[in-house]
Amino acid sequence: MERFAKSFTRQEPIPEPAIEAAVRVMRSGALHRYGAEPSEVAALEREFAASVGAAHALAVASGGYAMTAALRALGVGPGDPVLTNAWTLAPVPGAIAAVGARPVLVEVDDSLRIDLGDLEVKLPQARVLLVSHMRGHLADMEALMALCDAAGVAVVEDCAHTMGAAWNGRPSGRWGAVGCFSCQTYKHVNAGEGGLVCTDDPDLAARMILLSGSYMLYARHGTAPAEAVFARHKGTVPNVSGRMDELRAAILRPQIGALPRQVERWNALYRALEDAFRDAPGLAVVERPQAEAFVGSSIQVLAHDPARVPAFLAACAAWGVEWKWFGGAEAHGFTSRHHHWGYVAPQRLPRSDAILARLLDMRVPLTFDAADCALIGRIVAAEAARHLGAPSRARDPA
C-alpha cells in the first residue's frame, strides 16, 4: 500500500539570489525602508508596477493591510456597506470590518466565481466592491466592470491567489481602482508576510502611501505621484503604519522576476491533478474559462453528495492526501466560511451554502512533481470510488 508522504504545506527554499540580497541587507543594518539608500522596497515597487503595467505600486506589511489601505483611500468608513464574495477567506471580510464597514456578501456560482446576477441586484446597496479572486478563480472581468461602472461602484481586487494571472490578457489587479496582493508564505511569492498594492490613480496612491506611514518621506517611494498630489492629502490622512521592510523586499525582488516560470510549473502540476480527478466517481472538476490565464497553486473539486464527504476526507487523509472542506460545521485551520465570521451580520446565501457544502480544496506546492500528482490521483480515485460514487474499476493505490 503506497502512502503519499510529502507535506501539502512545504514550500520551496528561498532562491539563492534572494538569500544573498537578504544577507546584504542584514549586514548593512538598514532594515527600515526609509533608512536605506538605495532602497530595496522602492526598487520592488518599481519592478512590481512594471510587471503588471501599473503607474503606482506600494509595498506594505500584509495582504490584509493592502485591502484596508485601499478601502480607507476610497473613503470607506464606519457603517458603510462593502460588497464582497460569499466564498473567500477571513482576511477579506476582516479588512472590511477593520475599517468599521459592513460586509454585504454576494453569492458565488458553480464556477466558484462571484455570481454576476446577484451582484447586479446588490450593487445599489454599496459604492465599493471588494472582489475576491478566491483560490485563483477570476470572474468575467469585462462583465463585472461593466456592471460596476454603470452603477458607479469602485472595485478593489483581492489578488492574493492571482499574482501572475490575467483575464483576456489583462493582469489580475489591473481591472479595478486598486489591486491588492499578498506575499505570505502560501501565496505565489514568499516573504513570510507582506503585501503589494497597485493603481493608476495618483490620488489613491498618495493616500495609501500616507496611510502606510511615510511621514514626510513619501518622495522616496519607487513610484510616488508628484508633490502636488501629496499636497492635496497630507495633513488629512492618518498614519496607519503598515510599511514593508528592506529585508522582505530583498527576498521578494528575485521572486517577482521568476514568477512567470513558477506559474508554468504550477499549471503543469494543476493539469496533471485535474486530469486525474476528472474521472473520479462522485467528484466534478471546476472547468477554467478560456479567457482566464490562471495560476494553479491550488485545485478545487465539487462532491456530488456532501453527506459522504467526511468519510472520503478521512480515507484520503489515511493515505496522506489532505483536502480542505468548506462545508464543515466548524472553522478549521485557514478554512472558514461566512457562518463562522461573527463580525459579519448573518445573511441568506442559499446558492453559496449549497456549493460550499460540496467544495473540496487542495494545495499544490511546487515541492510536488509529476509522480506525486499521479499518486495523489490514484489515491483520490480509489477512495472516491469507495466513498463518493458507485463501485468502479479504480484500484487500491500501489
Please identify which residue in the block is written with the cell numbers 464582497: 84
First-to-last alpha carbon distance for the chain, in angstroms, is: 5
Sorted by where each starts, the structural domains of the chain and their CATH numbers stand as 16-254 (3.40.640.10), 259-387 (3.90.1150.10)
Tell me the three state secondary structure of residue 104: strand
What pLDDT was estimated at residue 329?
Answer: 82
Q: How far is CA 371 from the centre of its chain?
A: 27
CA-CA-CA-CA torsion for 377, 382, 388, 392, nearest 10 degrees? 120
What pLDDT was estimated at residue 1?
Answer: 60
User: Within the chain, which residues score under 50 in pLDDT?
Assistant: 391-398
Q: Phi and psi dihedrals of 307, rounded to 5?
A: -65, -25
Q: DSSP letters along 183-241, please? A: -STTSSS-SSS-EEEEES-HHHHHHHHHHTT-TT-GGGSTT---HHHHHTTTTTS----
Look at strands 298-303 and 359-363 and give their pairing.
Answer: antiparallel
Q: How far is CA 177 from CA 17, 142, 321, in A?
A: 33, 14, 40
Contacts 24+ apart (CB under 8 A), 367-375: 367/6, 367/7, 367/10, 367/11, 367/12, 368/6, 368/269, 369/269, 370/268, 370/269, 370/272, 372/4, 372/6, 373/269, 373/272, 373/273, 373/276, 374/272, 374/276, 375/2, 375/4
- Three-point CA angle 275, 266, 155, nearest 5°: 105
**Contacts for 90 with CB less than 8 Å, ≥ 6 apart:** 336, 340, 341
Measured CA to CA, the distance from residue 137 to residue 361 in angstroms comes to 13
Tell me the three state secondary structure of residue 170: strand
Question: pLDDT tens digits, residue range 50-99?
Answer: 999 999 999 999 999 999 999 999 999 999 999 999 999 999 999 999 99
Give the chain's count of helices (H) and strands (E).
Answer: 12, 14
Name the residue among 135, 127, 123, 59 with its Cα closest to residue 96.
127
Q: What nine digits make up the cell of 59? A: 509595498
Measured CA to CA, the distance from residue 317 to residue 298 in angstroms comes to 17
Q: Phi and psi dihedrals of 356, rounded to 5?
A: -65, -30
Helix (H) or strand (E) holding 79: none
What pLDDT was estimated at residue 390?
Answer: 58
Please identify which residue in the block is written with the cell numbers 447586479: 120
What pLDDT was estimated at residue 135?
Answer: 97
Q: Side by side, which strands form the sheet with 324-325?
A: 283-285, 298-303, 359-363, 324-325
